[in-house]
Amino acid sequence: MKKTLVALAVTAFAASASAVTVYENEGSKIDFDGSLRLKLDKNWTKVSGEKSQAGHTGLGNDGSRFGVRAKHQIAEDFYALGRLEFRFDSNVKTSDKFGDLNTKRAYVGLGSKQYGELTFGRQITIADDIAQVGFDYVYGAFDNNLTTAGNSVVRYDYKGIDGLQVGVNYNFGTEYNKDKDGNFTDIAKGKTKNGYGAGVVYSFAPAEGQSATVAAGYTRDNYVTEANGRHYKDAWAVGFKYGINQLTAGFDVAGDYTKNRPKNEDIRHLGFRVGAKYQVTPAVSIYGNYGHGQQKVKTTSTETTNYDRFMLGTDYQLHKNVLTYLEGAITTAKVKGGDKTTNSGVTVGLRVFW
What's the pLDDT tens digit per position in 171-204? 999 887 877 777 777 777 778 899 999 999 999 9
| Residue 290 belongs to some domain of the structure | yes
pLDDT tens for each residue of 124-151: 999 999 999 989 999 886 767 899 999 9
Residue 266 contacts by C-beta under 8 Å, 6 or more apart in sequence? Answer: 257, 258, 259, 260, 296, 297, 298
Which letter, b or e, does each residue of 111-142 get, where b requires 16 or more Cβ atoms within 10 Å of its Cβ?
bbeeebbebebbbbbbbbbbbbbbbbbbbbbb
Inform me whether the pLDDT recorded for 246 exceeds 90.
yes
Beta carbons of 324 and 348 less than 8 angstroms apart: yes
| Residue 196 belongs to some domain of the structure | yes
pLDDT at 17: 57
- Give this prediction's pTM: 0.88
Domain that holds residue 305: 20-353
More confident residue, 228 or 11: 228
pLDDT at 4: 46
| Residue 134 belongs to some domain of the structure | yes
- Nearest Cα neighbor of 6 from 256, 191, 278 is 278
CA dist., res. 303 & res. 334, Å (int):
11
| Residue 145 belongs to some domain of the structure | yes
% residues pLDDT > 90 (the chain):
75
DSSP state of 261: G
pLDDT at 141: 66
DSSP string, 284-329: EEEEEEEEEEEEEEESSSEEEEEEEEEEEEEEEEEETTEEEEEEEE
pLDDT at 169: 98
Please give the helix or strand (H or E) that residue 109 lies within, else none. Answer: strand 100-112
Inform me whether the pLDDT recorded for 344 exceeds 60.
yes
pLDDT tens for each residue of 280-308: 999 999 999 999 999 999 988 899 999 99
Average per-residue pLDDT for the chain: 91
pLDDT tens for each residue of 4-31: 444 444 554 444 456 899 999 999 999 9
- Nearest Cα neighbor of 133 from 125, 142, 124 is 142
Inform me whether the pLDDT recorded for 69 exceeds 70.
yes
Reported as half-sphere exposure (CB side, CA atoms, 13 A), residue 185 has a value of 8
Sorting pLDDT into bands at 50, 70 and 90, what band is 48? confident
Provide the number of structural domains found in the chain: 1
DSSP string, 263-285: GTEEEEEEEEEEEEEEESSSSEE
CA dist., res. 295 & res. 79, Å (int):
45
| Residue 296 belongs to some domain of the structure | yes
Q: What does the pLDDT average to over 64-80?
A: 97
| Residue 182 belongs to some domain of the structure | yes
| Residue 12 belongs to some domain of the structure | no
Region at 239 (left for phi over 0; alpha for psi -120 to 50; beta for the rest): beta
Domain harbouring 328, CATH code? 2.40.160.10
| Residue 3 belongs to some domain of the structure | no
pLDDT at 186: 78
